[in-house]
Amino acid sequence: MLDRFKLIVELQKIAPSLFIDTHSSYDLIQKAWQALSNDPTFFLKVQQCTDAPWPIPLWKDNLAHTIPVETYTNAHIVFSVDGSQIYPDRHNSLPCFLINTGIVILPYNGAQSTVQLLSEPTVFAGNDNDQALLTIDGINCKRQELELAAGLKIGKEIKKNNPTTQSILLFDGSLIFWHLSSKEPEIRNYFLYSYLQLLDEFYHEKILQCWYISMPKSKELINLVRLYLCNFDHTKKELYEPINSVIDSTIMHAVLKPHQRSIVLSNHSSISTYYPSHLRPFFFYLNTGNEIGRVEIPAWIAHDDSLVSIVAQIVIDQCIKGGGYPVALAEAHEQAVVKGADREFFYHFLQKMGMERNYKHAISRKSLKKRGMGI
């Protein structure tokens, strides 16, 4: 059991690293952001900067420009998918895992549809040729693939049944597949190709979608401030070190009023260079009234101001309905989540199936001990 006294001692040790006073950094950032936003030469300098050690975004409009987000009153359908999983149990001889995909469809303002809350379990049996897929990273990658595929399937059905009604698919997380950056080339290429194929189908079907990140930790705007403070000489670390612990939302909290958004910027991380031009990730920040959220969209949506407006309006409305977080995302998560009792049922039924087939289903003594501890 947890020794709480020792825990308190450990927490006190790391308190200086957890609770950093950023007041001086905050003032420095606000002054620098105002200055670079009003500097007509800054964008050109950013374009010409090729050696920055961090992802540097690009943009078209005035950085200081903020856009009010109106209420979306037309009939529309919001749908969302989310995934959860049961990883393979190393104490169980059967190499299989489960991915559960939660689906929610929510009609608004008279849309001719019905609320649907669903979940779709998919079980995978591993073998010696699927060792990479049987890892936690491999399963997480597969889960995202299934989420995209499920969203595409539902999106097509909604457009077929409601051809004149605006619909939008909300994903939780990032359109920038950061997790693939550190993967082995074989794994990265396989899943990136699959993801981009699915995103390309969204594009051809013209299924509106966005990715929402609550409490984003991104630093792309901070990276612009870093460049400004060091006058584009990133080797002069002492000039921007005071702001290294600050994130983009610090800037946006001061700039955006409730129900306003920033301009749209393009992401230029190393993984995004693999995306075709019409799918390249773009993003904007949004003051939902409760927090600064980050919304990511592919280029084909980002280049259409009317679509960007619809995305922002519906995300704001979803956050209002969800008490600060998009209600569709919250409901999709509830449909997807696999609880402890579900996990026990999964392995219990596997054992039952094995017994019916006279299969010797081995479970480690450690696992058995955990299920029935004796003293």
Residue 244 is predicted with a pLDDT of 92
**Mean pLDDT in order along the chain per 10 residues (375 residues):** 86 79 80 95 95 95 94 96 86 75 96 92 73 78 96 97 96 95 87 97 98 96 97 95 93 96 97 96 97 98 98 97 96 91 74 69 49 49
Would you say 97 and 86 are in contact if contact means Cβ atoms under 8 Å apart? yes
CA distance 32 to 226: 9
Residue 364 is predicted with a pLDDT of 46
Q: Which residue has the tokens 């966005």?
A: 210
Would you say 147 and 82 are in contact if contact means Cβ atoms under 8 Å apart? yes
Using alpha carbons, select from 118, 213, 196, 119 the residue that is nearest to residue 152.
196
Using alpha carbons, select from 274, 281, 285, 269 the residue that is nearest to residue 55.
269
CA distance 300 to 129: 38
Residue 107 is predicted with a pLDDT of 97
Would you say 82 and 329 are in contact if contact means Cβ atoms under 8 Å apart? yes
Residue 373 is predicted with a pLDDT of 46
Would you say 121 and 100 are in contact if contact means Cβ atoms under 8 Å apart? yes
CA distance 229 to 27: 13
Residue 106 is predicted with a pLDDT of 98
Residue 126 is predicted with a pLDDT of 67
Return the domain boundaries, the chain.
Answer: 67-336
What DSSP letter does each residue of 323-334 carry, written as one string?
TSS-HHHHHHHH
Cβ count within 10 A of residue 3: 9
pTM recorded for the entire structure:
0.89
CA distance 135 to 130: 9
